[in-house]
Chain A
Amino acid sequence: MKNFCGYLGKSLNLSLRHLSSISSLFQQALYWVFIAPFKGKPVNRKYLSQQLELIGVKSVPIVAFVSFFFGITLAMLTAYQLQIFQAEVLVGALVGVSFTREIGSLLTGIVVAARVGAAMTAELGTMKVSEEIDALETMAIKPVRFLIAPRLLAILIMLPCLVIVANIMGILGGYLIGKLSLGIDTFYYFSQTFKAIEVKDIVTGLTKSVFFAVIIGMVGCYQGFIVAGGAEGVGKSTTTSVVTSIFLIIITDCVLNALFYFI
Chain B
Amino acid sequence: MIVIKNLSKSFGKHKVLDNINLKIEKGKITIIMGGSGCGKSTLLKHLIGALKPDKGEILVEGNDITKMDENSLDNIRKKFGMLYQNGALFNSMSVGENVALPLREHTKLDNKIIEIVVKMKLELVGLTGFNELFPSQISGGMKKRVALARAIALDPQVVFYDEPGAGLDPVTRSVIDKLIADLSKKLNITSIVVTHEMGSAFTIADKIAMVHQGKIIANGTISEIKNSENEVVQQFISGSPEGPLTRQRSGKEYLESLT
**Chain A residues in the interface with B (C-beta under 8 A):** 127, 130-132, 134-135, 137-142, 146
Contact = CB atoms under 8 A, between A and B. Distances in A.
Interface stretch (B75-83, B112-120, B214-222, B242-250): B75-83
B84 A140 contact: no
Interface string B99-119: 001100110000000000000
A135 B45 CA distance: 11
A134 B75 contact: no
B77 A140 contact: yes
Given A138-B50, A139-B102, A140-B106, A131 B84 contact: yes
22 contacts: A130-B86, A130-B91, A131-B84, A131-B85, A132-B88, A132-B89, A134-B50, A134-B84, A134-B88, A135-B84, A135-B88, A135-B90, A137-B50, A138-B77, A138-B82, A139-B102, A139-B105, A139-B150, A140-B78, A140-B105, A141-B102, A141-B105
A140 B78 CA distance: 6
Given A138-B50, A139-B82, 10 more contacts: A130-B91, A131-B88, A132-B88, A132-B89, A135-B82, A135-B90, A137-B50, A139-B102, A140-B77, A141-B102
Between B85, B88, B90, the greatest number of chain A beta carbons within 10 A of the residue's beta carbon is seen for: B88
B74 interface: yes
A132 B74 contact: no
Contacts of A142: 74
B161 to A, nearest CB: 12
A138 B48 contact: yes
B101 A131 contact: no
Nearest to A129: B86
Given A134-B50, A134-B84, A135-B82, A140 B90 contact: no
Interface string B131-168: 00000000000000000001000000000000000000
Contacts of B85: 131
Contacts of B101: 139, 141
Interface of B: 48, 50, 74-75, 77-78, 80, 82, 84-86, 88-91, 101-102, 105-106, 150
B105 A138 contact: no
B84 A139 contact: no
Contact of A130 (B77, B80, B88): B88
Contacts of B150: 139
A182 B86 CA distance: 64
B77 A139 contact: yes
Nearest to B79: A140
Nearest to B84: A131
Nearest to A138: B82
Nearest to A47: B92
A24 B211 CA distance: 36
Contacts of A140: 74-75, 77-78, 105-106
A138 to B, nearest CB: 4
A127 B89 CA distance: 9
A146 to B, nearest CB: 8
Contacts of A131: 84-86, 88
A140 B91 CA distance: 19
Contacts of A138: 48, 50, 77, 80, 82
A138 B89 CA distance: 13
Contacts of A137: 50, 77
A131 B84 CA distance: 8
Contacts of A134: 50, 84, 88
A68 B155 CA distance: 56
B205 to A, nearest CB: 23
Contacts of B74: 140, 142
A129 B80 CA distance: 22
B75 to A, nearest CB: 7
Contacts of B82: 135, 138-139
A143 to B, nearest CB: 12
Contacts of B84: 131, 134-135
A113 B85 CA distance: 34
B90 A132 contact: yes
A131 B101 CA distance: 16
A146 B104 CA distance: 12
A247 B90 CA distance: 32
A130 B85 CA distance: 10
A127 B84 CA distance: 13
Contacts of B75: 140
Contacts of B86: 130-131
Contacts of B48: 138
A139 B85 CA distance: 16
